Structure 1
Amino acid sequence: MFDSIGWAEILVIVVAGLFILGPERLPSAAAWLGRNVRKVRQYATGAREQLRTELGPEYDELRKPLQDLQGLRNFDPKRAVSQHLLDDDWNKPGNGGYKANGYTDPAAPAPAAPTSDSPPLTKGEKPPFDPDAT
């Protein structure tokens, strides 16, 4: 129950309760809170057991998607992004050594230069010029 609440937060709640309720009523309020939390837990456990007995094997099938969703609770976006961008799976032989972020592996073969159909220029020959391309 206290997964996300630390001891500092509990201490702040106790001190605030001490100021709001006073030292006379604080023990009885804490006892009342403890009893009600225990009742809620018993109701939740009873409802879960009742569902388990009524649904039988279908209960486990119903729980699986909920457990998958709880697995997403531990999702770390920073790790996922860095794994996606820097993972070596992008450096496959059919990928030309390129990764999604543009990194080229030095061990990967360099991509071939584009080939043209025109023969190479001879000495003193001017390259073709296209005024529309500039």
Structure 2
Amino acid sequence: MLENIGWGEILLLVVAGLFILGPERLPSAAAWLGRTVRQVREYATGARQQLRDELGPDFDQIRKPLEDLRELRNFDPKRAVTRHLFDGDTDYRDTDYRDPGLPTNNGFQGYPPAARPPQQPLQPGERPPFDPDAT
């Protein structure tokens, strides 16, 4: 939850704390916050260790599906398909796997590239083309 907080947000919180608490109480409030966060982390670590001690080897069997669920939260379907199809090969976009000298299975060589007229920038005061059917 707190991993997405950057330095800008921290600076904003410090400035807001200066205005709300004042410069006299801000150091003691920061110390209290630090102690509280440290204590909560110690409680979480202690609870995890106690659970691990009580469950023994079953703890890893419970933890594995939870880690799999955590990975699903960051699931990117495009990356998964790319990894599956190309076995992690990232230069597949730059490679044309067809030999241009060979015809395809049906003998079709492909369409020649379409010749487009070069686009000219609009002149000052000229209105861009408008298609009412496209809007």
2:110 is matched with none
* Aligned counterparts of 1:88 and 1:62: Cα–Cα separation in 2: 33
- 1:1-134, aligned counterparts within 5 Å? 2-80=2-80, 83=82, 87=85, 108-110=104-106
For normalisation by structure 2, the TM-score amounts to 0.58
Distance 1:47 1:88, change over 3 A: closer
Structure 2 letter corresponding to 1:62: I
Identity of aligned residues (%): 70
Instruction: Write out the 4+ residue segments of structure 1 that deviate beyond 3 Å after TM superposition.
Output: 77-81, 105-108
SS at match of 2:14: helix
Matches of 1:25 and 1:39 in 2, distance apart?
21
TM-score by length of 1: 0.58
| Structure 1 gap segments, 5+ residues each | 90-104, 112-134
Instruction: State the Cα distance separating 1:4 from its structure 2 match.
Output: 1.4
SS of the residue 1:12 aligns to: helix
SS in 1 for 2:105: coil
Kindly report the root-mean-square deviation, in angstroms, between the aligned alpha carbons of the 2 structures: 2.8
Alignment CA distance shift 1:72-1:15 (3 Å): same
Query: Using the alignment, how far apart are the partners of 2:77 and 2:19 within structure 1?
Result: 41
- Counterpart secondary structure, 1:75: coil
User: Which of these two proteins has the greater Rg computed from alpha carbons?
Assistant: 1
Indicate how the Cα distance of structure 1 residues 50 and 76 shifts in structure 2: closer, same or farther if over 3 A, else same.
same
Gaps of 5+ in 2: 88-97, 108-135
Structure 2 Cα separation of the partners of residues 66 and 6 of structure 1: 27
